[in-house]
Amino acid sequence: MTAYAPDERVMVSPRYMAGAGDRLADAIAPLIHLFGWPAQHDAATGHVKIDSPDGSVPASTR
């Protein structure tokens, strides 16, 4: 088995073998990809802003 540094990125397939991962990404990904919520990503800060299509539920991450 190859040893990896704690901060080194590796690709794992199937995804469930990678572990719990980032719970926030697991929560917002279906909203964006399955339900079509518009997302805005600020590459400079890393912030992501998503809003429900009707604008009634704003959400943002940092």
Specify the pLDDT at position 45.
85
Say if 31 falls within a structural domain.
yes
pLDDT in 10s for each residue of the chain, 62 residues: 677 787 787 777 776 666 655 666 677 788 888 888 888 888 888 888 888 888 787 665 55
Say if 5 falls within a structural domain.
no
Phi, psi of 33 (to 5 degrees): -85, -40
Q: Tell me the C-alpha distance between 16 and 11, whole Å.
A: 12
Predicted TM-score (pTM) of the model is 0.46
Query: What pairing do the DSSP bridges indicate for beta strands 58-61 and 39-42?
Result: unpaired
Domain count, the chain: 1
Range of the domain at 43: 22-61
Specify the pLDDT at position 15.
65
> CB-based contacts of 35: which residues, under 8 Å, 6+ apart?
53
Q: CA distances (Å), 53 to each of 1, 9, 32, in order? A: 46, 34, 10
Say if 30 falls within a structural domain.
yes
Helix, coil or strand: residue 15: helix
Say if 49 falls within a structural domain.
yes
